[in-house]
Every structure is written in C-alpha cells, then in structure tokens.
Amino acid sequence: MLNRRVVVTGIGVVSSIGIGKDDFWKNLVNGKSGISEIESFNTSNYGTHKGGEVRGFDSADFIDKNKAKNIGRATQFAIAATKLAISDAKMNMSSIPKDKIGAIIGTTMADSQRLEEMDKTWIESGDDKVDPGLVPQYPGNAISMNVGFDFELKNMVAAIPTACSAGNYSIGYSYDLIRTGKADVMFAGGADSFSKIAFTGFNRLFAVAPEKCQPFDKNRKGMMVGEGAGVLVLESLDNAKKRKANIYAEVLGYALSCDAHHMTAPSSEGITRVMSKAMRNAGIEPKDVDYISAHGTGTPANDKAECAAVKEVFGPRYKDIPMSSIKSMLGHTMGAASAIEAIICCLVITDKIIPPTINYETPDPECDIDCVPNKACKKKVQVALNNSLAFGGNNACLVVRKM
C-alpha cells in the first residue's frame, strides 16, 4: 500500500471577520470580533439577538448569477472558499486529470434555509405551491455535489455531516485518499450558513450567550451561532514539488473517537482518547506539540471537559502550550468550524503568530490553560493540534507540522 506524504498548498476562507485568507488572518490576529446583531431574520421573540453573520458576501464575485439563485448560501460559501483556495494554491486545474481530483465538504445544517423556505410556503399556501427547484437544494450532499459540478471533479465527491467535527473529518478522509494513492488533489473543508433552525435549536438548549463568547472564562455563558466556510487544497508532496507549490504545512495524521456518552454533553475521556490516538497515528509525542487550536465553544461543560482532557494528555506541560479559541471572534461556524481552525493551524506555523482568545476577563481554576488571552502572541510552531468535538460525542483531532 502506498503511504504518500500529504501537504496543504491552498487556503480559502469565508467568515464574519473576512473573506479570503489575507483579510481573515489580519483581523483574526488583531482580535477583531465578527459578532453583530442578526439581520437575516427577526429575533424579537428570542432571548438572544447576536451571531457571527458574514457581511459583504456577494455570490456574483464567485458564481454565475443564474447558478447562484439555484443553490443555497452554504453551497455558495463552499464554492467561494474552494475558488479562493485554488487561487491561493496557484493551481492550474487543466494540468491535473479531473479523475485525480475530488472534494469532501463537511456540514452541520447544510442549506437548511432552503428547507425553511419550503416549510413556510407549505404551511402558508399548501404543498402544491412549493417550488420543486428547492427540493434538491437543502440535503447535505448538495454542497459537495455543487462543488463537484462547478469544478468538474471526477474523483470522490462527498459530504460528511458530523456536525461541529465535520471539517476535520473531511480533511482526514481526504488525507487518506491522497496518502493511499486514490487521489492526487483534494478540496477538503466545511461550510454552513446562518439559519433560523440552528439559532432556534441552540437557544432552546440554552447554550447561546447573550452578548459575547468567552471561552475558558470563569463567567462564560455559552456559544454564539456563526456561519462561513473553510476549504484547504491538499495534495501529495510529490505533486506539490512537481509544480513548485507553496507549502503551508504537512498533514501528519488524524484520529476519530466517539464518547458514546451523551447527545450534547462532552466527555473528557473521549477527548483524551482522540488526542492521544491522533498523536500516535502522526508518529509524535505530547512533548512535540507547540500549539492547540481548541474547540473552545464557550459553554461551561465543553471548555471544562476539553481542559481536563488536555491536562490528562500533556501532564504538567499543559500550561506551557498555547491553546486559543477563535470561536471567541467568529462564533461557532458549525460544519465549517474545524476546517477554518485547521487553516489557522497552517497559518500559525507559517507566520509564527498565534491568534488570541478574546473576551477573556476572569480566570477559571478549572480552565487554567494558556488561552492566549485577548492579544496574539509570537511563537515558533513546528507541530499543531486541531481539536473538534461534536454533538453525539463525535470527536476529531488533526495534526499538522511545519515542512
């Protein structure tokens, strides 16, 4: 069996703090918040009114307008992020056989806004008034399917709907396909758009903070619902060298675990297991890790469990490893979250600077990690871990290394 090395050569981001790598990274490092009053629907009947909505996104910048009107916002984000990643990778698509290129895109809600449109029409006007064109737009596979159509991809094209871990799952699966020779290039990541369904659900779980997300703060009150997309170009090292591509980082390995514990409450044991397994699969030890991109949702239970797991895995060294949460700035971008966080791991390695956890005010003895509070720090990073922890206990941890 082949065991090819896999590298990241392109990055594309659509987020509430910037569209495109450069604006996103500049604002992230500067600690800019992407949280604002929600504009996409009326929140007057809700207890909270803020979220991480993407402003200034024009689908016409990336997609033909006739096509754009027939696809949902999450799919538009995914296509835009893929185009940005291809451009960043300086990849000539015509030079690579399409049967050697695929796409794996993760999601939580898919294009649920289209489902909302269908339901509204159905309830108000009857099922015979529902636009049949909406039917193929909301299933989870619509996102990856349309990415495949847009770039005429002939290799594996699939969606992974493992909620908040979906981005890491997608990167891991893409890594396996390239490593074993089943593909040469993969577009891997995640996408989700802001929806009333997601906002309602998290509010009913009493998991949404009223004003700001404060990961690891003693007085944290919950997460913020967000939206966006992150896509990475993964390719074999040989392919990248052949075309003299810029390499951000090497994917060393990943791991998956299931808590088998509770639908919404995390288990520190499951998180411990996935981090330990990821490092074993990557051939590294805890002493090799220089940075952890935290799942860090800002909910009391999640942050406590993740910190407990980090202490278990890294022992006394846990305080020496910077571990920041960018959800403090973006909110929780659902299926896009760990893909965007994998992107920051690559940029941390490249630029030797770690983004902060903003809104940090009061230390919590149970979360006494170095969360890089409020201000970015400079640090040389050779190896980074990317944690993602989803509902149902679906955990994923990705390991990347400087080339």
- Helix (H) or strand (E) holding 390, with range, is strand 383-390
Q: pLDDT band for 48, please (50, 70, 90 cuts).
A: very high
138 and 11 part of one domain: yes
Asked if 49 and 189 sit in the same domain, the reply is: yes
Note whether residue 121 is domain-resident: yes
164 flagged as catalytic = yes
User: Among 3-7, 107-111, 246-250, where is mean pLDDT lowest?
Assistant: 107-111
> d(Cα 222, Cα 304) in Å, to the nearest integer?
12
**pLDDT top residue among 49 and 141:** 49
Mean pLDDT calculated for residue range 247-262 = 92
Section 31-47 average pLDDT:
94
Nearest by Cα to 147 from 82, 212, 235, 232? 82
pLDDT at 118: 66
Looking up residue 293, the CATH number of its domain turns out to be 3.40.47.10
> What's the pLDDT band for 133 if we cut at 50, 70, 90?
confident
Strands 6-15 and 249-258: what pairing? antiparallel
Q: Is the pLDDT of residue 205 over 90?
A: no
Answer yes or no: do 299 and 174 share one domain.
no
Q: Give the pLDDT confidence score for residue 130 in this predicted structure.
A: 72
Give the residue from 216, 242, 268 where a domain finishes: 242
pLDDT for 391? 74
pLDDT (0 to 100) of residue 166: 95
Dump pLDDT digits (tens) for 161-198.
Answer: 998 999 999 999 999 999 999 999 999 999 999 988 88
Domain count, the chain: 2
Torsion sign, CA atoms 333, 339, 344, 345: positive
pLDDT tens track for 265-302: 778 899 999 999 999 999 999 999 999 999 999 999 99
Domain match, 190 and 277 both: no
Residues 283 and 169 placed together within one structural domain of the fold = no
Query: Is 262 a residue of the active site?
Result: no
- 201 found inside a domain: yes
Domain termination residue (choose one: 181, 208, 242)? 242
Better-scored residue on pLDDT, 203 or 90: 90
Look at strands 6-15 and 228-236 and give their pairing. Answer: antiparallel
Question: Whole-number mean pLDDT of the chain?
Answer: 93
Please tell me the distance from the alpha carbon of residue 91 to that of residue 97, in angstroms, as a whole number: 12
Q: Are residues 262 and 358 in the same domain?
A: yes
Catalytic residue among 164, 213, 307, 346: 164
From 213, 295, 307, 346, the catalytic residue: 295
Residue 81's region, left for phi above 0, alpha for psi from -120 to 50, else beta, is alpha
Which position among 213, 307, 332, 346 bears the catalytic label? Answer: 332
pLDDT band at 33 (very low <50, low <70, confident <90, very high): very high
Listed residues 242, 276, 307: the one ending a domain: 242
Q: Which domain holds residue 162?
A: 6-242
